[in-house]
Structure 1
Amino acid sequence: MCFLCYQMKQRWIKIVALFLCAGTFHSCQDPTPDPELPIDPEVPEDPIVPVPEAEYFIGTDLSSLPEIEAAGTIFYNTEGQLVDAVSLLKSMGMNTIRLRLWVDPQDEHSGLAEVKAFAERLRSARLKLWLSVHYSDTWADPGKQVIPAAWQGLSFPSLKDSVASYTQRVAQTLQPDIIQLGNEINSGLLHPQGDRNAQPEQFLELLIRATQAVRETTPEARIMLHYAGIAGADAFFDEVAEVDYDQIGLSYYPRWHGKDLADLKTTLRRLSERHEKEVLIAETAYPFTLDWADWTNNLVGLEEQVILPSYPASPQGQQDFISVIQSITTREVALGRGFCYWGAELVAWRGPEATDGSPWENQALFDFEHRALPVLDAIELPQ
């Protein structure tokens, strides 16, 4: 999920947009969103009892928490008591934290040193680590897969070697429980050499080298391939059938990926059965309000951008939506192994007038006063 291109818009833009009903905000995560799917919020009730020996991953992405905490931001539980955000999320039922990793970022955030320090904190809290390796110096998503500066100009054989050695190093250093090779790699990774459309064979070769590096270094880690959305997922995972991986991860945001939860469940079932892989929702989120707490334009700010009829933009609507996502990914799909909520920590941490603050504060798991939201009561780790 990318949001940097939204950080410089002023509050008046939001107000004008609301009056014009201009549902034209575009995510730099996915410039070519999936076709709108029919609205059908009712998901058939045919739950599957969780497999007792299965390992589930219920968690959230907290990649920005070190930066947010360094700015002096504090969090509270539902009673208004000061809490450590990581400890609170664990106490509410989460067992996994997802962290993004950039190769050589412009500042220290999401670099190996910061991620290693945070991973050690998570291990101390007895939480699992889900590592999202972007293979870039910045955000990677369906519309942007920029090769790291240090690898630009390399021949393809040298690029494969660099990918392998880097993957081995980060896997050995961080010892993740899940290692996600690439982020939302619908279009491939490491463009132009790993472009799925222009260089499909090279795209596969890069993935194969990366998976080999993981198997050689941390064979117990689960390897995930991550695709954004539902449309096109079947073709993608057919194409990567020769890659040695363990888990299918899908992003699912109603704004970009359709408003039919029954279709989401059907897709997860079909993919898991066809490829005999565990399936997870790697990214999802839902607003608890359409209001804002800073002057940074929110990615979801209009009702028509996101709202499922049965799930209004309210604390209860957010909680109900996540309850359904949790049910689908842990009870209703035989190989469903959980989900990750994206942006739990993204409150308006730079102040109410910041134009470079959070484009996500209305979808965080904490309200505008940084209190834990009722959605956390819905979290339940399968026994």
Structure 2
Amino acid sequence: MKKIKNWWMGLLLLAGVAITSCNDDDKPVFPEAPEETYDMTGFARGADVSWLTEMEAEGRTFYDADGKERECMSLLRELGMNAIRLRVWVNPADGWCNQNDVIAKAWRAHNLGYRLMIDFHYSDTWADPGSQTKPAAWENYTFDELRQAVTTHTTEVLTALKNQGIDVEWVQVGNETSNGMLWDEGMASTNMANFAALVNAGYDAAKAVYPDAQVIIHLDRGNELTHYTWIFNGLQENGAKWDIIGMSLYPGEDPDDSNGLTEWNPVDENGQTWQEQNDACIANMQSLIDTYQTQVMVCEIGVPWNYEQAEAFYTDFVTKAKQVDGCLGVFAWEPECYGGWNGYQKGMFDDTGKPTASFNAFARD
């Protein structure tokens, strides 16, 4: 069992003890520091906190339920989280989520005993089902050069992490690659073989640095099975390699994905409630495990923080996911967000920066 100890608490106690006498007959008695331990093993109860350093730079602070200001990752650990996910952009305009920023956050997570997932977007900005834009520096590359760039970038970032003594348990090769990545060359609908080759470039690079890391291919819309079978059948036919199928689930309908309850509807465009979408995603997990003989991970999940059934949603999903043999964990996406940070309303803190009851779903057993 991996246990993390707050040794610093002992140092604080030692520093605070008043020594009134130093002779042999009246030696000071130091109280034993309480040892707080955290079991970071088992089912991954994860948080993607990729915005954290940017939020801190903008002056955002975090508080526990009693209103005491806290460091965010430490607070998340107390709330039950045992894994951190961090996205990587190649050369972002503002520097956030570049290699150095990722290392800074990963180092903090490592020192708190978190398990770590690195999410490669292979872009200078957001990569998702609607946009898989090549990094500007790769824009005029041939396909072979693109494949080599994936290898080089993956190797460089992971090697930099390893050189800091940071372990990486999972590596995500592409983000929500529901139609491939690095468009147009790697678009799955026009050239599945190219997409498979790019996946393998990332897979092989990850394994070369971290042989025991598990490599994830990640898609959105976890409640839609055909969305997955089309991609993974095609990848399988073209010799792609992966260890885990990653899934996202954002129930309801939110046309611009930027508002809270003003725009969000808990029923999606097909008339499915969040309960039905949860059940569909859970059923899809089992189908994917059986079909591809692979494990699954929910890499992103979220609903608006102020939805009255938010805690019920998370509790229902996490409880059912734990019962699936082959589901490795569930990651909330940017739960630390609050106050409409960057227009995102699906965090798990309220507008005062305090954790909501939704964290109960991620509490330790």
State the one-letter code of the partner of 2:304.
Answer: P
User: Are 1:56 and 1:381, in contact at CA under 8 Å, matched by a contact in 2?
Assistant: no
Secondary structure, counterpart of 2:342 in structure 1 = coil
The counterpart of 1:147, out of the listed 134, 146, 152, is 134
Name the counterpart of 1:277: 294
Matches within 5 A, 1:244-263: 244-255=241-252, 259=273, 260=276, 261-263=278-280
State the one-letter code of the partner of 1:245.
Answer: W
Question: Greater CA deviation, 279-288 or 126-135?
Answer: 279-288
- Residues 46-85 of structure 1 deviation map (CA, whole Å, 9 limit, x = unaligned): xxxxxxxx84211111010101111111111112111111
List runs of 5+ in structure 2 lacking aligned partners: 1-40, 162-166, 254-267
Identity of aligned residues (%): 28
Query: Against the structure 1 CA distance between its residues 288 and 166, is the aligned structure 2 distance closer, same or farther, given a 3 Å change threshold?
Result: closer
Normalised TM-score (structure 1): 0.74
Matches within 5 A, 1:72-221: 72-174=59-161, 175-221=167-213
Secondary structure, counterpart of 2:252 in structure 1 = helix
- Residues 168-221 of structure 1 deviation map (CA, whole Å, 9 limit, x = unaligned): 111222242111000000011001110111121111111112111112221111
- Residues 2-38 of structure 1 deviation map (CA, whole Å, 9 limit, x = unaligned): xxxxxxxxxxxxxxxxxxxxxxxxxxxxxxxxxxxxx
State the one-letter code of the partner of 2:181.
Answer: L
Name the counterpart of 1:372: 355
By how many angstroms is 1:143 displaced? 0.7
- Residues 271-305 of structure 1 deviation map (CA, whole Å, 9 limit, x = unaligned): 0111121112111111232xxxxxxxxxxxxxxxx
By how many angstroms is 1:243 displaced? 2.1
Query: Does residue 340 in structure 1 map to residue 331 in structure 2?
Result: yes
- Coordinate RMSD, CA, aligned: 1.6
User: Are 1:280 and 1:329, in contact at CA under 8 Å, matched by a contact in 2?
Assistant: no
By how many angstroms is 1:134 displaced? 0.1
List runs of 5+ in structure 1 lacking aligned partners: 1-53, 290-312, 350-356
Secondary structure, counterpart of 2:194 in structure 1 = helix
State the one-letter code of the partner of 1:279.
Answer: V
Q: Distance in 1 between matches of 2:116 and 2:53?
A: 15
Q: Distance in 2 between matches of 1:186 and 1:138?
A: 17
By how many angstroms is 1:114 displaced? 0.5
State the one-letter code of the partner of 2:235.
Answer: V
Name the counterpart of 1:34: none
The counterpart of 1:70, out of the listed 54, 57, 73, is 57
User: Are 1:348 and 1:358, in contact at CA under 8 Å, matched by a contact in 2?
Assistant: no
User: Are 2:193 and 2:235, in contact at CA under 8 Å, matched by a contact in 1?
Assistant: no
State the one-letter code of the partner of 1:136.
Answer: S
Question: Greater CA deviation, 222-231 or 97-106?
Answer: 222-231
By how many angstroms is 1:318 displaced? 1.1
User: Are 1:119 and 1:129, in contact at CA under 8 Å, matched by a contact in 2?
Assistant: yes
The counterpart of 1:233, out of the listed 228, 235, 249, is 228
Q: Distance in 1 between matches of 2:339 and 2:80?
A: 25
By how many angstroms is 1:251 displaced? 0.6
State the one-letter code of the partner of 1:263.
Answer: A
Name the counterpart of 1:358: 342
Matches within 5 A, 1:276-355: 276-289=293-306, 313-314=307-308, 317-331=309-323, 333-348=324-339
Q: Distance in 2 between matches of 1:119 and 1:343?
A: 15
Secondary structure, counterpart of 1:179 in structure 2 = strand
Name the counterpart of 1:3: none
User: Are 2:117 and 2:171, in contact at CA under 8 Å, matched by a contact in 1?
Assistant: yes
Name the counterpart of 2:15: none
By how many angstroms is 1:381 displaced? 4.1
State the one-letter code of the partner of 2:360.
Answer: D
- Residues 322-364 of structure 1 deviation map (CA, whole Å, 9 limit, x = unaligned): 1111112212x11011111012122127xxxxxxx43223x22
State the one-letter code of the partner of 1:237.
Answer: F
Q: Distance in 1 between matches of 2:322 and 2:293?
A: 16
User: Are 1:347 and 1:358, in contact at CA under 8 Å, matched by a contact in 2?
Assistant: no
Q: 4+ residue stretches of structure 1 with deviation over 4 A?
A: none
Structure of higher CA gyration radius? 2
